C-alpha cells in the first residue's frame, strides 16, 4: 500500500495513526481527509513532511470529492466520526449525517474502485457489561468481555450511529464483496485528545485552577488503551487482517472513572479528593471490557503501553507542555458543560 486515505486524520486518534505511519512506514503516502470541525486541528499534523502527508479539507459526505480521492488510493482507513456522547444526546443529527451517511459515501467509492477499506469503530456499539468490583488483573482470563460475536446493543445516539455504520460495512462486504475489515476499540487516551473528553478535561481543569468533575459515583468502568497501541493495531489489521473479519482492540486496561481521576490528581500533586461530583450522564454505560485475543493470536499484535500509570503521566506531561494547543478552547468547553451542571 503506497497511497492511503485517513479520514478524520486531523482529529485525536486519526492524527496519531498518521504520525505512526510516517514514523514507521516511509514508503507510504497519506492523504488526510478532514472536515476540520471543532475536534479536528491542523496543529495535530504540524511537523510532518509535506511530501508524505497531504491534508484535504472536506466532508466525507461529499460524494464527488470522495470519489476523486478514492480512485487514486490503495486503501481507506476511516476514523472520521462525531464521537462525543454528551453532544449526541443534545443533537443527534450530525451523528447520523457523519457516521452513517459519511460511511455510506466512503464504502460506495471503495466498492466502485475496488479499494481496500478499514472501518474504525468503538466498543460502545455493544452497550455495556455488568459492573464488577474485582476487575481482572493483567494476564488473567477474559472473564465477561466484549468479543466480535457480542450482539449490538447501543445506548446513546452516538453508539447507535456507529453501530449503524458497522452494519453498513458488514452488508456491503456480504452483498457487494467490499474488501473490508472492521475494528472496535476501547477508550483511547494520549496526546492530541480534545479537552471535552474525560482524561484531558480533568488534566486541563487542574492546570487551569479548576476542580475536576466526576459523573455520578465514578464507578463506571472503561477499558483504557494508549492511542499509539490503537495505531499499531489498526495497521496490523489493515496489512494482515482477513477480509470480512472484525477485530477487537484492547490492552486489558480496565479502570473505574473514580480511580482514573484520583490517579490524575495524585500524579499532579493534588489531594486525591479535590474534585466535585456532578449529575450522571443520561444512559451512562456501566462497564466496557475488550477481549482482544483474536487480534493477538491470529495477527500477532501485542500492546506496548501496558503501564497505565506511566502512560497517564506521559499524557499529563504532554498537556502541561502544550498549553497553547488547548488553552484557547478551555473556557468555551467548560461553559458548555456548566449549562448542564456537568
- 103 located within any domain: yes
What pLDDT was estimated at residue 139?
46
- 164 located within any domain: yes
23: its cell numbers: 514514523
Q: 26: buried, middle or exposed (CB in 10 Å: 19+, 13-18, 0-12)? A: exposed
What SS3 class is residue 336?
A: helix
Q: Which pTM does this prediction carry?
A: 0.94
Return the axis-axis angle of helices 308-321 and 323-339, rounded to nearest 10°.
Answer: 100
Instruction: Kindly report the CATH number assigned to the domain that includes residue 26.
Output: 3.40.50.720
- 294 located within any domain: yes
Report whether pLDDT(294) > 80. yes
Specify the higher pLDDT residue, 134 or 182. Answer: 182
- Using CA atoms, how far apart are residues 160 and 1, in angstroms rounded to an integer? 32
**Structural domain boundaries, residue 89:** 3-194+226-253+287-305
Residues paired with residue 275 on neighbouring β-strands, in sequence order:
none
Across the chain, what does the average pLDDT equal?
Answer: 94
Average the pLDDT over 245-269 and give the result.
Answer: 97
Count of domains for the chain:
1
**What Å distances lie between residue 71 and 57, 68, 222, CA to CA?**
17, 6, 39
Q: Are 204 and 330 in contact (CB under 8 A)?
A: yes
What SS3 class is residue 181?
A: strand
For the segment 212-253, what is each residue's pLDDT rounded down to a tens digit?
Answer: 999 999 999 999 999 999 999 999 999 999 999 999 999 999
Specify the higher pLDDT residue, 337 or 339. Answer: 337
128 catalytically annotated: no
What pLDDT was estimated at residue 6?
98
Contacts of 125 (CB under 8 A, 6+ apart): 152, 154, 159, 162, 163, 166, 184
For the segment 73-89, what is each residue's pLDDT rounded down to a tens digit?
Answer: 999 999 999 988 888 99
Report whether pLDDT(116) > 50. yes
- Using CA atoms, how far apart are residues 204 and 174, in angstroms rounded to an integer? 45
Q: Are 295 and 229 in contact (CB under 8 A)?
A: no
Q: 284: buried, middle or exposed (CB in 10 Å: 19+, 13-18, 0-12)? A: middle
End-to-end CA distance of the chain: 45
Residues paired with residue 6 on neighbouring β-strands, in sequence order:
32, 77
Local structure of residue 152 (DSSP, 8 states): P
- Using CA atoms, how far apart are residues 329 and 135, in angstroms rounded to an integer? 35
- 274 located within any domain: no
Catalytic residue among 34, 59, 82, 123: 123
What pLDDT was estimated at residue 84?
81
Contacts of 273 (CB under 8 A, 6+ apart): 262
What pLDDT was estimated at residue 336?
87
158 catalytically annotated: yes
Local structure of residue 43 (DSSP, 8 states): G
- 144 located within any domain: yes
Specify the higher pLDDT residue, 281 or 142. Answer: 281
Report whether pLDDT(36) > 90. yes
- From the list 82, 76, 80, 73, the residue with the least C-alpha distance to 107 is 76
- Using CA atoms, how far apart are residues 58 and 320, in angstroms rounded to an integer? 31
For the segment 179-191, what is each residue's pLDDT rounded down to a tens digit?
Answer: 999 999 999 999 9
Phi/psi of residue 195, nearest 5 degrees: -75, 0
Predicted confidence band at 177 (pLDDT cuts at 50, 70, 90)?
A: very high
How big is the chain by its Cα radius of gyration, in Å? 19
What pLDDT was estimated at residue 223?
96
Catalytic residue among 34, 59, 82, 124: 124
- 62 located within any domain: yes
Catalytic residue among 79, 104, 117, 158: 158
DSSP letter string, 248-270: EE--S-EEEHHHHHHHHHHHTT-
- 326 located within any domain: no
Predicted confidence band at 14 (pLDDT cuts at 50, 70, 90)?
A: very high
Report whether pLDDT(140) > 90. no
In terms of DSSP H, where are the helices of the chain?
12-24, 63-70, 85-90, 93-95, 102-113, 157-176, 198-207, 227-240, 257-267, 293-299, 308-321, 323-339
Report whether pLDDT(337) > 90. no
- 37 located within any domain: yes
215 catalytically annotated: no
Amino acid at each position: 500500500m503506497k497511497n492511503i486515505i485517513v479520514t478524520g486524520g486531523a482529529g485525536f486518534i486519526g492524527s496519531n495513526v498518521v504520525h505512526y505511519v510516517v514514523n514507521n512506514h516511509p514508503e507510504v503516502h497519506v492523504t488526510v481527509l478532514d472536515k476540520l470541525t471543532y475536534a479536528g486541528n491542523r496543529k495535530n499534523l504540524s511537523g510532518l513532511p509535506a511530501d508524505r502527508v497531504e491534508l484535504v479539507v472536506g466532508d466525507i459526505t461529499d460524494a464527488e470529492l470522495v470519489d476523486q480521492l478514492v480512485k487514486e488510493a490503495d486503501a481507506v482507513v476511516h476514523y472520521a466520526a462525531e464521537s462525543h456522547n454528551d453532544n449526541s444526546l443534545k443533537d443527534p443529527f450530525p451523528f447520523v449525517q457523519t457516521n452513517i451517511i459519511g460511511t455510506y459515501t466512503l464504502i460506495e467509492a471503495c466498492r466502485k474502485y475496488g479499494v481496500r477499506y478499514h472501518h474504525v469503530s468503538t466498543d460502545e456499539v455493544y452497550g455495556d457489561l455488568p459492573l464488577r468490583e474485582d476487575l481482572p488483573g493483567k494476564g488473567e482470563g477474559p472473564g465477561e468481555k466484549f468479543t466480535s460475536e457480542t450482539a449490538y446493543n447501543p445506548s446513546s445516539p452516538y453508539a447507535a450511529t456507529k453501530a449503524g455504520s458497522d452494519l453498513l460495512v458488514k452488508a456491503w462486504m456480504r452483498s457487494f464483496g467490499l474488501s473490508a475489515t472492521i475494528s472496535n476499540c476501547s477508550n483511547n487516551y494520549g496526546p492530541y485528545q480534545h479537552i471535552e473528553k474525560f482524561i484531558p478535561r480533568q488534566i486541563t481543569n487542574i492546570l487551569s485552577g479548576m476542580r475536576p468533575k466526576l459523573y455520578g459515583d465514578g464507578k463506571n468502568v472503561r477499558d483504557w488503551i494508549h492511542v499509539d497501541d490503537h495505531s499499531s493495531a489498526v495497521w496490523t489489521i489493515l496489512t494482515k487482517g482477513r477480509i470480512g473479519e472484525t477485530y477487537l482492540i484492547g490492552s486489558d486496561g480496565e479502570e473505574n472513572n473514580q480511580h482514573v481521576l484520583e490517579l490524575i490528581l495524585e500524579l499532579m500533586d493534588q489531594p486525591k479528593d479535590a474534585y466535585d461530583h456532578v449529575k450522571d450522564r443520561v444512559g451512562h454505560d456501566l462497564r466496557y471490557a475488550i477481549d482482544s485475543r483474536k487480534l493477538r493470536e491470529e495477527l500477532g499484535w501485542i500492546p506496548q503501553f501496558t503501564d497505565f500509570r506511566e502512560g497517564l503521566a506521559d499524557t499529563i506531561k504532554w498537556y502541561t507542555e502544550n498549553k497553547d494547543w488547548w488553552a484557547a478552547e478551555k473556557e468555551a468547553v467548560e461553559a458548555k458543560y456548566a449549562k448542564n451542571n456537568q
